[in-house]
Amino acid sequence: MAEQLRLMAVHAHPDDESSKGAATMAKYVADGVQVLVVTCTGGERGSVLNPKLDRPDVWANIAEIRRAEMDSARAILGVDQAWLGFVDSGLPEGDPLPPLPEGCFALQDAEVAAGPLVRLMREFRPHVVTTYDEEGGYPHPDHIMCHKVSVAAFDAAGDPERFPELGEPWQPLKLYYDIGFSKAKIMALHEGMLALGKESPYAEWLERWEGRPDKGPRITTRVECASYFPVRDDALRAHATQVDPDGFWFHVPMELQQQAWPTEDFELVRSVVDSPMPESDLFAGVRETVHAR
């Protein structure tokens, strides 16, 4: 029998897996790929963004609630999931910014903090790993640390001289960064809303875009997964404390999303296999290598 393909997606908090690359994961699960979501922190210091749940009883049990939400989202996506066990750093606000809490994820030494992820990589043996870019997708301290730890673990997992106590070496074949939004994607959704005679939730976003870098040119890989957008949204709604069901994320009609931008987009940043660019499959070049073994 052919070896089963395996995908590992490394995220900072519970809910990140449902807002970044979730439809891609659901598609690959349906295709028979084994998918493991790795969640670096428990999301203990995140905000309650659903006004219906901004209550004292929710705040008093936020860590347990977020774990239960993660269980629900995991089941919807059909993935496996593992916790790295680090403590949420929170998103500092103010001028000047306050110091980060002692012991939080973002204050760890990235090379040391990569150890638990190296262990998981050697146990799960992923062929492909996805994570955030050097800015964390957006500059949350935990997202930036997630990037650092993921890259460090990808580079260390296959090296028998590094972390020898953490299992047999395993070298993943490809590393990707999620590219959640490009200017072209935002424009496509914005113009689609206007064409329907609806108010666009992206108007202010585009106004603020002036002078900001566009990550669109970095995209190497577009995975067509529009039919799994409803699964993505169901998983996101499962993180009920983190998402307002009447909020921004759900203003664009599903049919428009599927027509205007039917892919989730990634940047290939490490590869030990050959695959022609641009790609439409995270496992391009990997399938041939694995099936040849």
Two tokens, residue 78? 């059909």
User: 209 pLDDT exceeds 90?
Assistant: no
CA distance 244 to 219: 29
User: 224 pLDDT exceeds 70?
Assistant: yes
Phi, psi of 174 (to 5 degrees): -145, 145
CA distance 21 to 229: 10
State mean pLDDT over 147-162. Answer: 98
CB 253 within 8 A of CB 196: yes
User: 2 pLDDT exceeds 70?
Assistant: no
Band of residue 261 on the pLDDT scale cut at 50, 70, 90 = very high
Average pLDDT taken over every residue of the chain:
95
Give pLDDT, residue 1: 57
pLDDT in tens, 25-56: 999 999 999 999 999 999 999 889 999 999 99
DSSP states along 26-86: HHHHHTT-EEEEEEEE--TT-----GGG-SHHHHHTHHHHHHHHHHHHHHHHT-EEEEEEE
Give pLDDT, residue 158: 98
Two tokens, residue 166? 């953490």
Secondary structure of 2-40 as H, E, C letters: CCCCEEEEEECCCCHHHHCCHHHHHHHHHCCCEEEEEEE
93 versus 152: which is more confidently predicted? 152
**What does DSSP assign to residue 281?**
-
First to last CA, the chain: 11
User: 231 pLDDT exceeds 70?
Assistant: yes
pLDDT in tens, 121-147: 999 999 999 999 999 988 899 999 999
Helices (H) then strands (E): counts for the chain: 11, 7
State mean pLDDT over 234-261. Answer: 93
CA distance 169 to 288: 21
CA distance 181 to 188: 11
Q: Is 13 annotated as a binding residue?
A: yes
User: 247 pLDDT exceeds 90?
Assistant: no
Strand partners, 38: 10, 82
User: 280 pLDDT exceeds 70?
Assistant: yes
Q: Is 143 annotated as a binding residue?
A: yes
Give pLDDT, residue 46: 87
The kind and range of the H/E element at 119 are helix 110-124
pLDDT in tens, 4-26: 999 999 999 999 999 999 999 99
- Taking alpha carbons only, the member of 38, 14, 44, 17 closest to residue 104 is 44
pTM: 0.96
CA distance 17 to 76: 12
Q: Above pLDDT 70, what percent of the chain?
A: 99
pLDDT in tens, 165-193: 999 999 999 999 999 999 999 999 999 99
